[in-house]
Amino acid sequence: MSIFKSRGPDQSGNEDILVGLDIGTTKICCIIAVPDNLGGIEIRGVGNSKSLGMTRGMVVNMDLTIQAIREAVDEASAMAGCRVDDVYLGIAGGHIHSFNTEGVIAVRDKVERIITEEDKKRVQKAALVLNTPVDRDIFQSVAQEYVVDGQDGILDPVGMVGVRLEVKVHVITGAINAIQNLLNCVANAGFNVNDIILESLASASAVLSPQEMDVGAAILDCGGGTTDIALFAGGAVKHSAVLALGGNSLTSDLAQGLRTSNEIAEMLKISEGCCLTSMVEGRGPVEVPSVGGFAPREVPARYFSAILERRVEEILTHVSQEFVRSGFDGAINGVVLTGGTSLLPGVTEMAREIFNRPVRRGYPACGGFLAEMVHDPKFATGIGLILYGLQNSESAMRVPKSEKSSPSLWGRIWKRLKSMLEQG
Ligand SMILES: Nc1ncnc2c1ncn2[C@@H]1O[C@H](COP(=O)(O)OP(=O)(O)OP(=O)(O)O)[C@@H](O)[C@H]1O
Ligand SMILES: [Mg+2]
């Protein structure tokens, strides 16, 4: 549950069409869907393009990124037979930091002491009176729970009776420049941004069940450039973090270890990869195709696997340390792995060992005749962006239409949020 009001689904002439735009490090993916009657979505269009202008979740080449955004959106809109105007945009990258904070107010109605929408907004506003460094800004904030006169665990306090109202909020900040570059790419590609959503929270909407969020679970979106972490307990996000390491590091380790090109290393990782040496005992050697004038070679399966094992172990150990650093380690009762790198054989087994908890792979679920096509961890973010947008009618971040293509847009976001809250 986020604390800022949303306008609901895209209404720009494509009524009920919802579009998720996942600008990943390896692929840009656009998903078009319509809400179904059960609170889920039905996929109408899917578009993918190779992401060549991103590194570790951040834009490094705007032209290539703009072009790839257009390609992905064009493909999805041709499949869906509709025009795309507004998108829910995912964001990740090593520049993102998150923390928890609180706000407290006295309830205004001193006679009947009934908590109103206005009290709720005032307490949200109080929680966000924060000093952020000049080069960073808050792009998403999620209300975790409300506390009324000491009684905690309240998801919506409106209508309850009390004197003192508190809110606990998860705040996510990012480097202004990195966010603005991403927004400018989308604006230059010709699309408006409805909401900016942290990718791990989006992916969680697609692959974590409400029960898992309630009992305590972690999601790891293991992508190409980043590994995104989000921890849930009591039905709310408690911690999020982005680790700037992902499947691309596995590929470059292989390329180095096998003395081959990145392209061949990537191909071999997908076809032969396994990150547990114990799982490849007795397997024949891996054939490394020729590069340039060099002859093909064979490397023992164990050696090939050991290269992947070392890096995956490093990533998962970092994640495990992040669980502890978050202070919510004890609340995590299971871990869900999603994103393309979660498909690597041996990852779930190694994660089970390192985290010492149940681990499963998360596949996004949705309806429609294209559902099978997106039943893949790589699409968790794209689908999750739509689900998050749909489920959180109180959305995290709204970008008013008039300002969507303004280059100085991001610098004004905080001011707008403030005035939005002030208007109530
Ligand atoms: N079957 C597979 N086995 C191993 N790795 C895989 C497999 N399929 C995809 N990958 C890896 O998954 C990564 C891409 O995953 P994904 O599409 O989730 O990343 P992304 O969204 O582009 O990147 P990011 O989220 O980090 O910005 C690549 O590194 C790719 O090599
Ligand atoms: Mg991704």
Residue 377 CA to ligand 1 center (angstroms) comes to 9
Which ligand is closest in space to the CA of residue 203?
A: 2
Residue 365 CA to ligand 1 center (angstroms) comes to 19
Q: Kindly list the strands in the beta sheet with 18-23, ordered across the sheet, starting from the edge strand earlier in the chain.
A: 41-50, 27-35, 18-23, 86-91, 192-198
The DSSP-derived string for 208-220 is --HHHHHH-EEEE
Which ligand is closest in space to the CA of residue 247?
A: 1
Q: Which residues pair with 102 in a beta bridge?
A: 168
Task: For strands 227-233 and 217-222, give the pairing.
Answer: antiparallel
Task: For strands 192-198 and 86-91, give the pairing.
Answer: parallel
Residue 287 CA to ligand 1 center (angstroms) comes to 22
Residue 119 CA to ligand 2 center (angstroms) comes to 37
- Token pair recorded at residue 262: 């990145």
Question: What phi and psi, each to the nearest 5 degrees, are found at residue 227?
Answer: -120, 115
Residue 248 CA to ligand 2 center (angstroms) comes to 12
Q: For a pocket test of ligand 1, which of 25, 249, 347 has the largest count of ligand atoms closer than 8 A to its C-beta? A: 25
Atom of ligand 1 lying closest to residue 222 CA: 18
Place of tokens 């959106």: 73
Q: For a pocket test of ligand 1, which of 21, 23, 26 has the largest count of ligand atoms closer than 8 A to its C-beta? A: 26
Left (φ > 0), alpha (ψ -120 to 50) or beta: where does 198 sit? beta
Domain boundaries 97-175+411-418, corresponding CATH code: 3.30.1490.110
In this structure, which residue's CA is closest to atom 12 in ligand 1? 340
Q: What is the CA radius of gyration of the chain?
A: 22
Residue 142 CA to ligand 1 center (angstroms) comes to 28
**Burial class of residue 342 in the structure, from the number of CB atoms within 10 Å of its CB (0-12 exposed, 13-18 middle, 19+ buried):** buried
pTM given for the model:
0.88
Atom of ligand 1 lying closest to residue 28 CA: 22
Residue 133 CA to ligand 1 center (angstroms) comes to 33
Q: In angstroms, rounded to a whole number, what is the distance separating the alpha carbons of residues 141 and 288?
A: 48
Selection from 64, 60, 52 nearest residue 188 by Cα: 64
Q: What is the pLDDT of residue 53?
A: 96
HSE toward the beta carbon, residue 77, CA cutoff 13 A: 16
- What is the Cα 188 distance to its own chain's centre? 23
- Would you give the DSSP letter of residue 316? H
pLDDT digits (tens), the chain, 424 positions: 333 322 334 444 445 899 999 999 999 999 999 998 887 899 999 999 999 999 988 999 999 999 999 999 999 999 999 999 999 999 999 899 999 999 999 999 999 999 999 999 999 999 999 888 889 989 999 999 999 999 999 999 999 999 999 999 999 999 999 999 999 999 999 999 998 999 999 999 999 999 999 999 999 999 999 999 999 999 999 999 999 999 999 999 999 999 999 999 999 999 999 999 999 999 999 999 988 878 899 999 999 999 999 999 999 999 999 999 999 999 999 999 999 999 999 999 999 999 999 999 999 988 878 888 999 999 999 999 999 988 874 433 233 222 333 333 444 444 444 444 444 3
In this structure, which residue's CA is closest to atom 5 in ligand 1? 341
Q: In angstroms, rounded to a whole number, what is the distance separating the alpha carbons of residues 257 and 307?
A: 7
- Ligand 1 pocket (Cβ < 6 Å) reads 24-27, 51, 57, 92, 223-226, 246-248, 251, 266, 269-270, 273, 339-341, 343-344, 378
Q: What is the pLDDT of residue 15?
A: 55
Q: What is the pLDDT of residues 314-338, one digit of tens each?
A: 999 999 999 999 999 999 999 999 9
Selection from 191, 221, 253 nearest residue 25 by Cα: 221
Atom of ligand 1 lying closest to residue 380 CA: 18
- Token pair recorded at residue 301: 């399966």
Structural domain boundaries in the chain: 97-175+411-418
- Token pair recorded at residue 392: 């959180």
Which ligand is closest in space to the CA of residue 268?
A: 1
Q: Which residues pair with 114 in a beta bridge?
A: 161
Q: Residues 98, 74: contact at Cβ < 8 Å?
A: no
Residue 387 CA to ligand 1 center (angstroms) comes to 21
